[in-house]
Structures are given as C-alpha cells and as structure tokens.
Structure 1
C-alpha cells in the first residue's frame, strides 16, 4: 500500500464483477474496504447477506487486534454504527484468551440502542431465536456490555428503550451490570419494571401533539408551527434531527426568526464537527429542501453549502500549484442506493466527495466517465450545487465503466498532473475492447508524461478487487469509504503511510 516508485509488472489474479481482469486486495485492505463501505443492504453486485458473510470470512483471515482497531476506527472516525458491532460479535466467536473483545465492546457501544442491536446481531450470527436463547452469552461480550450500561443515564436509557427483537430490559437481565451507586440502581430497577420517566425529546413532543384532536386543519397546522418554533428555540432538536426535518420545519411555516436559528445551527463549524454527519446526508437534505416552494429555501440551501464546506476545511496537501484531476464514475452499478431507506446513490457519494475535493483545490480538472470521459468546468465554491449539475448531466457519458479513458486522455494530451482521483466502485473494464486497461494506461502515463504523478482509487463499494495492483504499481493507492475521513487518509499517504496507518495506530 505504500507508494513505490519502481514499477513492477504484476499479473491480474482474478476478475471483477464485470469480468475484467483485476487484482485481489490483501486481507487487511479488503476488510477495511468492505467495512468502510458497508451499509449491510443490497447492492448492485452483492446482496446484504452476501456482504455479511464476506465480512465474517474476512474477520477470520485477519489478525484479531487489527479487526478490533478497525472496528474502533469505523465507529469513532467514520461514524458507522452497525458494522463495528458485526465485527465485535464475530471476533467474540473466534477469539479467546484475553479481554480484547470486552474492551472493544465497551469502546464502540456509545448509545443504549447499540446494546440491543449488538445482542440481536449476536443472536443472528449464532443462529439463535428468541431472547431466552441468549442466556449463554459470550462472557467477554457480557463484560463489555456491562461497562457500557454503566455509562448511560436515565434520559438516555428512556430515550432508546424501544420495541424490537431485544429490549433494553432484556439486555439488563442478560448482562447483569453492577450499578455504580444507589441512584443508578434505581434507574436499573425502573428499566426492569418499565417505569422510566418519559424523556422530553422532540419526538415525544411531536408525537403527543399528533394524538391531540383539533377542531380544524388550520388549528392543527398552527399547533405544529408553534411546537416546531418552541423546539428550535429550546435547542432540543439535535443536528441530525434538524437535518432530516428541514422539509417538515419549512412546510410547518415557522417564523423567519426560527429559520434564521436553524440556518445558524446548520452552518456552525463546531456543530458540524460534533454532529459527525456523513457528507452525503447534506445532499439528501439539500434535495428535499430544493423541491419546496418556500421563501426561506435559498437561505437554507446556503446554510447547507456552508455546512458541507466545513467537512473538508482542513484538507492538506493541495496547494495552489497542485494539479488535480477529479473523475467520478457514473456507470450503472454506481446508481444504487447506499441503503434500503436512502434515496442517495453510490453515484451521489462519489460526486459529493469529488466536489468537496474540488472545492479545496486551486488547480483542478473535474469530470465524469461511463462510456466516455467528459471534462466539466464548474465554479469551485458550491459543493451541493455542483453535485446537482453533474447529476443533471450524467446521461451525457453513458453507463459503462471505462475508467481507463481518464488516464488515456491525460496521456494523449501529454498533460502533467500531480494527483488523479477516481471515485468508483472499482468494477472498471474496457467496453471498447481495444486492448488497454487502467493499469496499462497508468504505467504508460507515468513512464512518458508524469513520473511523479499519483493515482488514488476511492473505493465506494468494497467488492474486494482493484483494477491495479495497489501493492506494486507506481504511485497507486486505494482509499475506501463515504466520509470526509478519506481526506485524512490522503494526508497519511502523502506522508509515506498507507490507508491502514491510522487504523493500526489505534490503542485501547
């Protein structure tokens, strides 16, 4: 994975889902790519249960400490919730002899509902049905969950005590946490008895309002408008909830003062950092708001642009003189939703990350490829607006996966650049059947035009292969994931590290 500057010709050892020659990744790199892109929902090339099976197989092929480090990295740096729990459960099944699993569980379980999700995952992986079958719980999982239980207060326990395959009450009886003091014993007793006080949250407030009878629709609308204004002023609506309810807030007709407060929160640099939102969440909100007929739409869209700009504010290694190519894969396989409940596609994720990168570069060529490669010149500032412009024009290039054209174009123009960034699912091939590949074009470009150029493959699907041998090819690296954290990986690569450097430095 480190950059090498002596090209060693290696032969492909597999084929990708398109049937094109490809290279397998090392077990740590393949697990990293699979985890960083996991939604555990169906994808174009891979069903959810297939991805889960592959994750489990990859855990068995990797060092337990690395698996634990990766789980922590996925939870704390990439802000993923479900897949770190899967790694912990599988590690508990395979690893014995120390307290690695209990320390891992205590580290990655950061919300009470993750306790129940982990137990549900444990039941599924171990083919158990019903809460009663969980009484033979792994001792290390049990110890880690007991530590987690002791971190949560009454508000958190009540907020996340939801119906499901496993309830928090069930988890309490399975884990048997020792209360720190008498007040926590009272909380545990209330949880067991189902008498925890109902917490004040925006959800409970709106739910209660929705169950109220109103004389007229106008009276109901006025009540919801007033409630939203009260909630916004109280600061009780968290950042994610605010982002996901922008349409509801605007359609409720809240006051201009309330909208100003919403926009200020959305665009606040500290709030953005604390919220740990994946960049494509801003695109989903942007599209919801843009479709509205409301006088406040333009202000909210501007706030969302400010918010996503903060995601890459500290991007390093891209001075005014750095020449960068940003190429986005818009092939058919990239036009799949990131999860069953999302309208955002892999295609969109690539565009968002690509336009974020463009927003921080002074010297940039951006474009998209399918059947053909097309350069598109857009202003450097608006990230989300540029994504929508790309989206509007995606049909102009077709839907194949001819990524080699990006590099072939540079070679034929004899255009010297420093960094080529390709956002893709790595299922690249050559529909023109002219005998060339990404690997060949890159080797020739480095040999004849730009010996110091570097190629970064941003893997957005994690299928386990790459169109080049990232272990041996000149100046090539693979980075995986959907978060702005990928830009930190770029810095590690430029400093002589690898995509795994930060993961392997984690201690706990």
Structure 2
C-alpha cells in the first residue's frame, strides 16, 4: 500500500479539513480575513499558533482588495474592538496601499497603546516592510504633533517600544518650547526646566521628595513606587473606568479599601453605565474582571460591577420565533479566549465567552431553548428568577468530552422540533460527528431541519481564528466571528432578512 496520508482520497469540491483533520468548509479570503481580524489575538491558542495566525491573516490580506483590508481594520477596531489585528492590517496597508493607510491609520490608531503596537509591528518587518519608510514615519510624526499633551502623557506608559523610543525614531517637530522640553525630558536629552510641562515638573519634584502631594500625571507613572493605601485611594480618581476595573485587586493588595469612603466611591463609579460606555466597555471585559476578583474586594464593588455587566447586555437583540441557542462545552473551550499569554492570560475562557453570549441572548429571548453540546447534548434549564452571574455560572460550569457540533441540530431532527433560528457558539473544531461522504454532519442535520422548517436560519458564531466552519455560507446560514457584543447588530440584521445580510457585506459598508 502506498502512503495513505500522501494518497488520501480527494475531498469533494468546497470541502476542507479543520485543525482536527475532520471535514469542514474553508472560509473564502474575505471572510477569513474578517474572521482573523475579529477573533485572532496573535497568541497561541488551543489549536492555532501565533505564527500560524500571522501567516494566515497576511496571506488573506494579499488575496483581497486593499479597500476591504482597510474596511476590515476599521471594523475590527471599532466594532469587534480588537487591538493587535487592526494595528497589523494598518501596518500592512502602508506597503500594500500607502494612500489607503492614511485614513485607516487615523481611524485605527486612536490611543498611545495602539500607536506603540503599530510601531512595534512596522519595525519588526513582519508586515512586509524592510524599513520604517517615509509614509509610516510621517503618520506617526503627525500623530505625535497633533496629540494634546495629556494624551502624550498617557502614551508615555509601556515599553517595547516606549514613547521615548518612538520619538527617537521619527523625530517629531515640537510645536512650542513646552513640547520641546517634554521630548528632551522623555528621551534623556538636555531640556529647558522652566519650559517643562507643569505635570512633568511636579513629577520630578515628587520623585526627589515623596512627601509632596502626588503629581498630576497618569496613575501608571506612579504605581511602581511604594505608595500607601491613602495614596492608592487618591489614584482611583485619576483612573478611567477601565483602569479602575483592572486595578480592583491592586486596591485590595495595597489596603486602599481601608480608607474611609473609598468603597462607596469605587462602587459608584463601577456601577455607572454611562461612564462604562464612555470607556467602551465590552461585556466580556466586565465578566473577566468579575471572574478575576480576589475575595477581599468589597461586596458593594463586586455588586456594582455585576450590575453594570447586566445593563451592558441590553444590546442583545430581541428575536422573533422559536429559537435554540447551542454553546460548545468541549475541552478545547477551556482555552483563554484571547490566547495563551503566560502570566498575563485572561481568566476568561472560550466557554465563559460562549456562556456570556448565550445567557445574554436568552435573557432577551426567555422562551429560547438552550442545548449545550460536546459529543452529545447536555440540556440545561436557565432560571429567570436569578441574576446573570448565577445563570452564567450554571452554564459555564458544564464540562464535556470531544466535539460533535452537529449534536444539538441532530437532536432537533430527532425531536421533530419546530424551529426558526439556531445559534451555535463554538471554536468550530468538530471531529466526532457521524461520518458523511459529501458534506459535514452539521450541514446534513441542518438540511433535515430545513425539510420540516423551510424558513429556518442558522448562525454559527466562531470564537477562535482557525479558518474553517462546519456549515458553508448561504442564504439561510450566517458565519460570524467574535466574542464581543459587536456581533449583536450582525445577528439582528441577518434575522431581519433583506439583501446583503452576510458578514462580509456588513464590513463592506464601513466608510473610509
């Protein structure tokens, strides 16, 4: 016998293999780029490696119109609220379509953190440039020259590259003596002390004499100094909503909650939905923060964060008809949803993200059925009388063995169920389904559902950037990528019907 791997039977047209070697449908180049941009984190996952993600997204970008790359970068930043992938696509465009890179840079590079990521990627050479080049250099110069001083102060946190590295690289033109002194101070060159911005001068004075009041600089400049609980309490007033969310455990560690009144102040801010939305809160971030809280975080703060999480889910759509929501609870769903970042890995796992979206949709559509699945179906009853966290914990606590993504749809066939909409949430790496010669088991089961329910629709929400689906794109099937509330408008639009309801068409509506 010849090598069976080398001479395996050819796959039927349109079919591919997933990471488990099972039948799957490969996304087209545009859909693959969208999928990677909205779920890829450029870190290792349960299946995919960071290097594979980078190779796949650049290959997909090279196959599509640069205009679509630009639209995808903006969509990924502002709707999916990703960071590294939009910066990567922006860097790619500086070589592939320099004129397009200008509006995309302005739309995507909207913070100091995004600027540092963009510079890091361009300097690496992995986005196709062998040198920084005139156009990227001018874009960064203009960003620095137009940024208000307070934005620059905020950008002067973080490293590899630091803001100082960027200033040395692109040599921005200081608009006045104050900006010139700030750049000199930043990069360790001589500067005019009298022209130094008052915030920076106060910081230097405080470093010489820590008995002075805390200087009015970004809190990140101060947190590596030995501050006491009272000083940490003062810093909370300088933190934005997200900064405060991410430092709740630090406040415990530094005994700041022992300061009278701080618990009430922090709880009031954590529970302020207006401030949270201004900070572009994503529900999965609030859930991740709740999961990461140490026990000593005061209960009023914990309750306020839970409250704002519930309120943030109001964007989940109300859907008509008979709905079934099917989250994957297989072992691969135990992976961190944003990839393995060693000690910096999020507490939020893929199963938590699937449970979050499931409960959010169910709360707006309480008549919907919920069928969790692994090799088979694990029916679960959610309780409308308890809060979001209790239902989420009940669902996220399910554990499975293996993945048969067709299992819940096959159960609907066996029940001869009447259904209008099925929503699947998975990493799409199904392998334990009953073999099918010409199509995936999911598509075979779905076609049987359609025989009884001709107008039924199915939405497959893919939580990881792995490049294949178990159901092909067609009028009654929508493949979506992402784990944020940015998927809700796409769900609403698809269920509402009408022309161009697929995900790629939605991205193509992005204005440049």
Q: Deviations over 1:409-437 (max 9, x none)?
A: 11222222222111101112335558871
Structure 1 equivalent of residue 73 of structure 2: 71
Q: Deviations over 1:469-494 (max 9, x none)?
A: 11x3x511011112110001112223
What SS does the aligned partner of 2:485 have? coil
Q: Which runs of 5+ in 1 are unaligned?
A: 1-9, 211-222
What SS does the aligned partner of 1:457 have? strand
Would the alpha carbon gap of residues 14 and 170 (structure 1) be closer, same or farther in structure 2, given more than 3 Å must change? same
Moved more, 341-350 or 451-460: 341-350
Q: Which runs of 5+ in 2 are unaligned?
A: 1-11, 204-215
State the distance in 1 between where 2:511 and 2:173 align: 26
Structure 1 equivalent of residue 169 of structure 2: 174
State the distance in 2 between where 1:484 and 1:433 align: 34
Q: Is the CA contact (8 Å cut-off) linking 1:101 and 1:144 kept in structure 2?
A: no
What SS does the aligned partner of 1:22 have? strand
Q: Give 1:357 deviation, angstroms.
A: 1.5
Residues 344-493 of structure 1 correspond to what in structure 2 (within 5 A)? Answer: 344-380=348-384, 382-392=387-397, 394-395=398-399, 398-431=400-433, 433=435, 437-448=441-452, 450-470=453-473, 472=474, 475-493=476-494
State the distance in 2 between where 1:374 and 1:126 align: 44
1:154 to 140, 149, 152: 149
Q: Is the CA contact (8 Å cut-off) linking 1:23 and 1:465 kept in structure 2?
A: yes
Structure 2 equivalent of residue 217 of structure 1: none
What SS does the aligned partner of 2:284 have? helix
CA RMSD in angstroms comes to 2.7
Q: Give 1:364 deviation, angstroms.
A: 1.5
Q: Give 1:146 deviation, angstroms.
A: 2.3
Structure 1 equivalent of residue 64 of structure 2: 62
Would the alpha carbon gap of residues 247 and 115 (structure 1) be closer, same or farther in structure 2, given more than 3 Å must change? closer
Structure 1 equivalent of residue 330 of structure 2: 331
Would the alpha carbon gap of residues 180 and 77 (structure 1) be closer, same or farther in structure 2, given more than 3 Å must change? farther
Q: Is the CA contact (8 Å cut-off) linking 1:418 and 1:454 kept in structure 2?
A: yes
Residue 208 (structure 1) aligned with residue 208 (structure 2): no
State the distance in 2 between where 1:500 and 1:268 align: 35
Q: Deviations over 1:244-286 (max 9, x none)?
A: 2223334523357322222222222212212223332222221
Would the alpha carbon gap of residues 163 and 282 (structure 1) be closer, same or farther in structure 2, given more than 3 Å must change? closer
Q: Give 1:67 deviation, angstroms.
A: 0.5
Would the alpha carbon gap of residues 149 and 345 (structure 1) be closer, same or farther in structure 2, given more than 3 Å must change? same
1:33 to 32, 35, 38: 35
Q: Give 1:61 deviation, angstroms.
A: 0.8
Q: Deviations over 1:346-394 (max 9, x none)?
A: 22211112112122213121231112211211124633332222233x2
Would the alpha carbon gap of residues 236 and 311 (structure 1) be closer, same or farther in structure 2, given more than 3 Å must change? same
- Count of residues in Structure 1 that have an aligned counterpart in Structure 2: 466
TM-score with structure 1 setting the length: 0.84
State the distance in 2 between where 1:208 and 1:173 align: 26
Q: Deviations over 1:108-132 (max 9, x none)?
A: 111224333222211223599xxxx
Q: Is the CA contact (8 Å cut-off) linking 1:430 and 1:437 kept in structure 2?
A: no
Give the number of the structure with larger relative contact order, counting CA–CA contacts within 8 Å between residues 6 or more apart.
Answer: 1
Residues 220-299 of structure 1 correspond to what in structure 2 (within 5 A)? Answer: 223-224=228-229, 226-232=230-236, 235-250=237-252, 252=255, 253-254=257-258, 257-289=261-293, 292=295, 296-297=298-299, 299=300
Would the alpha carbon gap of residues 254 and 368 (structure 1) be closer, same or farther in structure 2, given more than 3 Å must change? farther
Structure 1 equivalent of residue 87 of structure 2: 85
State the distance in 2 between where 1:188 and 1:106 align: 22
Q: Is the CA contact (8 Å cut-off) linking 1:324 and 1:417 kept in structure 2?
A: yes
Q: Give 1:48 deviation, angstroms.
A: 0.6
Q: Give 1:162 deviation, angstroms.
A: 4.4
